[in-house]
Structure 1
């Protein structure tokens, strides 16, 4: 945390001990760090004036690297610069009240002795990693820190992906067993979320693939094997999200099909009713005109006969409909 209000933007710094632990440094201690002291992890808010000033004038990094660490917009990527790595990744937003697709960007510079991460909004993955260092169960060096950070970012997606799968399972059940009037909108909302998440994860997969092939001396074959496992987990998440999106599309089509069937059934019933009353309306209208010569106008039994004739017409219609299997 900051030493004072003037240090706002300095989130934390750890000096790794090489055994899974780390000592928190103050801002003044982090400024005086030397490579001979050990591996440093410096985590900062890129929107703060202190961060911008230090990165531009005191970090001894190339201006292209500092511009990337301070960039407002960053697409997931991995770029090798000398014997270091410049990365931009995104993590699921676990902050209270946040939508899953509103992902948090983190920028990373890593070399053999130092890792600098910058972001603007809180990221649970980073806090988890800091807690592990305090408990002595964290990364040992820069490569291990980079692997642990990417692993945490992808691990945090597991809950979101599982939640998507639970939602689509529940909605599929409702599609078959209930008449939920909001089902169509809920499916559309879930599909929109999965599309948004996929749009962010696809570039992240490219960034991880690039990380696997970057030639830096401090990434050993064992490190690359661990990164490959992390990348495989990311690919599985992407495949699971694709599956959820396809299931929402199928469920949405099923809902539309059921709505269409219900509409057709109602239209069919209305058509049958109209067909029954069409001849009745014709006869009553014909005999209801106020003209001389209407048959039965002088007979006291005319109405009974006419009513019986209408009933006979309806009976004949029902017989025809049954015979043609329309009822």
Structure 2
């Protein structure tokens, strides 16, 4: 569990203790960030004028992307890649922010991958108010997700190339995995877009026009990713159907070959079985040419059956 607080005042950035940051009422902008679920750290959220609904949303076990206004503050929940991909059961982890003039409280149950990047921007003096901070998270999350979503499309392209080359083995598992990834991303990417569009439309004194432009840019990137994920999901379903049809055709073709071979040898088996009976009276049993004669008859029967198949075009695929 980590609990950190940064104060931006007079162009300088200082690290404060969470307790001092919670009580700070001076000039500048304070960001209090909590990671984890320790009760003693979550208790810092109390006594900061956070509405009960927002406070409960900050510490809720299950969340989805959203943006709601409460008086002069806004509750923003976003989802982004985790620093540790094994964290949690969802593909993306949440960051919950309560932003108002001069202060932002944020909570993540699992470390978010972009948090160090945003912290570095703030320490470099590029984030000066709550609007800058929220816009920085939105842009960082969308930029990190964009290549991951694009990679799903590239993987599907590789699957299509493999199918065209006739390599259909193990593709079913690969395509199913890509579709599962697309569904997991789609579950939160589209709500991220909706939350940011709502945030960009809020009339807040701490949200200036430049922040709105950055937020709309991130929302547009999320919208494009949503469309890409929809396309990936539909393409994956189509490829799965094509793969099923192709595997069916391969099975039919192989079954036809097996049936033809079995049909050719069926009369030959009858002839050899009939002549191989251990009884008296087998014709030409003592003739020296009988063996080769039977072989010739079998070859003639096999060639005749094969010619009949070819004449009826049953050997065409």
TM superposition score category, shorter chain reference: 0.7 to 0.9
Which residue in the other structure is 2:69 paired with? 80
Distance (whole Å) between structure 2 residues aligned to residue 155 and residue 209 of structure 1: 17
TM-superposition CA deviations, 1:2-32 (whole Å, max 9, x none)? xxxxxx642x21222375x632223343133
Distance (whole Å) between structure 1 residues aligned to residue 165 and residue 282 of structure 2: 58
1:47 matches 2:37: yes
* CA gap 1:153/1:304 in 2 versus in 1, 3 angstroms: closer
- 1:293 deviates by 5.0
Unaligned runs of 5+ in 1: 1-7
Distance (whole Å) between structure 1 residues aligned to residue 98 and residue 304 of structure 2: 87
Which residue in the other structure is 1:270 paired with? 258
Which residue in the other structure is 1:317 paired with? 305
Distance (whole Å) between structure 1 residues aligned to residue 303 and residue 163 of structure 2: 40
Which residue in the other structure is 2:152 paired with? 164
* CA gap 1:213/1:31 in 2 versus in 1, 3 angstroms: closer
Q: Secondary structure at the match of 1:37?
A: coil
Q: Secondary structure at the match of 1:310?
A: helix
TM-superposition CA deviations, 1:200-250 (whole Å, max 9, x none)? 222222322322333434334443333222210111111222222333333
Q: Secondary structure at the match of 1:140?
A: coil
Which residue in the other structure is 2:8 paired with? 16
Which residue in the other structure is 2:24 paired with? 33
1:214 matches 2:206: no
- 1:281 deviates by 1.9
1:66 matches 2:58: no
The normalised TM-score by structure 2 is 0.87
Distance (whole Å) between structure 1 residues aligned to residue 168 and residue 83 of structure 2: 29
2:75–2:99 CA contact under 8 A, matched in 1? yes
Q: Secondary structure at the match of 1:312?
A: helix
Distance (whole Å) between structure 2 residues aligned to residue 180 and residue 309 of structure 1: 42
Q: Secondary structure at the match of 2:114?
A: helix
Q: Secondary structure at the match of 2:48?
A: coil
Unaligned runs of 5+ in 2: none
Q: Secondary structure at the match of 2:94?
A: strand
RMSD value, Cα: 2.7
- Corresponding residue to 1:93 among 82, 85, 89: 82
The normalised TM-score by structure 1 is 0.85
Which residue in the other structure is 1:135 paired with? 124
Q: Secondary structure at the match of 2:82?
A: coil
